[in-house]
Amino acid sequence: MSISGSLFNAYSGLKSAARTAEAISNNVANAMTIGYGRREVELSAASINGRGAGVQVAGVLRLVDQVAISDRLLAESALGGNRVRADAFARLESAIGTPGDGSSLSDRVTEFEAALLDAEGRPDAEVRLRNVLFAAKDLIATVGGISDETQEMRMSADAGIGRQVGILNETLSRIETLNHDIRLHVGGGGDVNGLLDQRQQLVDKLAEIVPIKTYQRDHGQIAIVSIGGVSLLDGSAAEFGFSPTGLITPEMDLASGALSALQVNGKDISIGTGSGGLEGGSLSALFQVRDVIAPKASAQIDAFARNLMERFEAGGLDSTLNAGDAGLFTDGGGKLDTALETGLAGRLALNVAVDPDQGGVSWRLRDGLGALVPGDVGDNSLLLAFSDALTNGRAPLSGSFSPHALSLAGLSGDLTALNSTERLHADEAEAFATSRYQALLSTELDAGVDTDQEMQKLLLVEQAYAANARVVSTVDEMLRAILEM
């Protein structure tokens, strides 16, 4: 072999070793980067005029386990949806409170009962009557706070839907652009691995919002379809539409048109019901919070407020009241109207007749809400009747409570237990989804970059580089010796 041939062979070896070392260093640096595909330099023999001319880089392969990625994407969607639901039930549990924390619904009912019992013993004591009023107002505030929280949850979910729809449209548009760029680079014989990494990271971003599968198309392009069969991208990207609602009140719902539905390419699509084409990710879970979970919780606290009002409007409880008069607890000052139960918890108020802050007098708790003048200060019969109204069993006529007759304390405990059970199930589902996602992510990473193996390859590359460098050095010494002759 000629000196020039040896030098050219060594030079090609140095270039190939440098390119391989670069690929290995990128692999090691991105070993934990989601969406990164392991690089492997493909080498082939080079020739000039049919004669060996060293080695050349035939290409840089991007190696990924598509099955592992697909499984991980579905697990990511499930995790996103379960996380949204678990957060919703945690918010509800925080609003309802836990018995014993001092401010829970159950504690407020207990405090109201205790204040009535205390007033029964000394019906003449103004301070004890005032304590009944304070306890009643605390109970009203807690009931109203739970109602407010359910509406805040709906508005928060509605705003979240708007944000996620924006992310979907932007991400799909960027993937469409990358598909176009990849097609051009493939046609021109360029390296598209960096573009493929960028596209995979965008696909991962979609997966938490909507469960998806990807399909290969010609020239390196992909199509994206939801698990439910909705085409998100195949050539051109689908366009999602949604109109966020600023203020949501209890009576507003999707069926009435007061809240926006989700559109895909201008057509309404069912979501959040468990059977639509986009179910499973965080987007469908947000619709479920807005249209199912929070409205159901709102209806429950409305049913509790109704039961409370019914207890104090029962016939014969207060002889000073006429038919049609409101009891101790009112619907914004008026009598209970069961046709207007939606949103009742947020309108629950104390009868102005007994509220000194609104021109009333506390002695009417003892003498009757319709009494014009004070009566016998030692008469505790009405206070006893009020206390019995709380503790006697009364079957709730609305809401998804136990059908059995319950005291108000029992009803509050039932409401607390129902939500806690839902929260526990949601937490278990989230924990399972998290464990599954982590396991599949680990499987994907294991099938990707093995840093130990990459470092072993790097040692071989260093040896090859050193060998080729030695050839160059030897040729240099030979040329020097020839020139010095």
Give the 3-state secondary structure of 458-485.
HHHHHHHHHHHHHHHHHHHHHHHHHHCC
Q: DSSP letter at 343?
A: T
Question: Mind listing the pLDDT tens digit for each residue in 26-46?
Answer: 778 877 777 787 878 777 777
| Residue 106, burial from CB neighbour count under 10 angstroms (0-12, 13-18, 19+) | buried
Q: Average of pLDDT values for 251-274?
A: 93
Antiparallel, parallel or unpaired: β 329-331 and 348-350? antiparallel
Q: Which residue has the higher pLDDT, 192 or 313?
A: 313
Question: Mind listing the pLDDT tens digit for each residue in 121-157?
Answer: 999 999 999 999 999 999 999 999 999 999 999 999 9
Confidence of residue 89 (pLDDT cuts 50, 70, 90): very high
Antiparallel, parallel or unpaired: β 236-237 and 231-234? antiparallel
Share of the chain above pLDDT 90, in %: 69
Confidence of residue 217 (pLDDT cuts 50, 70, 90): very high
* Predicted TM-score of the model (pTM): 0.87
Q: Average of pLDDT values for 293-310?
A: 97
Q: Average of pLDDT values for 161-184?
A: 96
Tokens encoding 17: 């070793």
Confidence of residue 64 (pLDDT cuts 50, 70, 90): confident
Tokens encoding 354: 């007994």
Phi, psi values for residue 233, rounded to 5°: -160, 120
pLDDT at residue number 53: 65
pLDDT at residue 204 greater than cutoff 60? yes
Q: Average of pLDDT values for 170-190?
A: 91
Strands (E) located in 179-257:
212-216, 222-226, 231-234, 236-237, 240-241
* Domain layout of the chain by residue ranges: 3-64+449-483, 70-436
Tokens encoding 264: 């895909």
pLDDT at residue number 460: 82
pLDDT at residue 50 greater than cutoff 70? no
Is 450 in contact with 38 (CB distance < 8 Å)? no
Q: Which of 51-60, 257-266, 401-410 has the lowest mean pLDDT?
A: 51-60
Is 334 in contact with 326 (CB distance < 8 Å)? yes
Q: Average of pLDDT values for 366-371?
A: 95
Q: State the CB neighbour count (10 A cutoff) for residue 452.
A: 7
pLDDT at residue 246 greater than cutoff 90? no
Return mean pLDDT, the chain.
90
Q: Which of 89-98, 274-283, 336-345, 472-481 has the lowest mean pLDDT?
A: 472-481
Distance of CA 62 to the CA centre of its chain: 33
Rounded to an integer, what distance in angstroms lies between the CA atom of residue 262 and that of residue 20? 49
pLDDT at residue 3 greater than cutoff 80? no
Tokens encoding 196: 């493929």
Confidence of residue 464 (pLDDT cuts 50, 70, 90): confident
pLDDT at residue number 480: 81
Q: Average of pLDDT values for 279-284?
A: 95
Share of the chain above pLDDT 70, in %: 97
Q: Which residue has the higher pLDDT, 69 or 360?
A: 360
pLDDT at residue number 29: 83
Q: Average of pLDDT values for 236-254?
A: 95
Distance of CA 193 to the CA centre of its chain: 32
pLDDT at residue number 303: 97
pLDDT at residue 1 greater than cutoff 60? no
Listing from the earlier edge strand, what are the strands of the sheet with 212-216? 212-216, 222-226, 231-234, 236-237
Confidence of residue 417 (pLDDT cuts 50, 70, 90): very high
| Residue 212, burial from CB neighbour count under 10 angstroms (0-12, 13-18, 19+) | buried
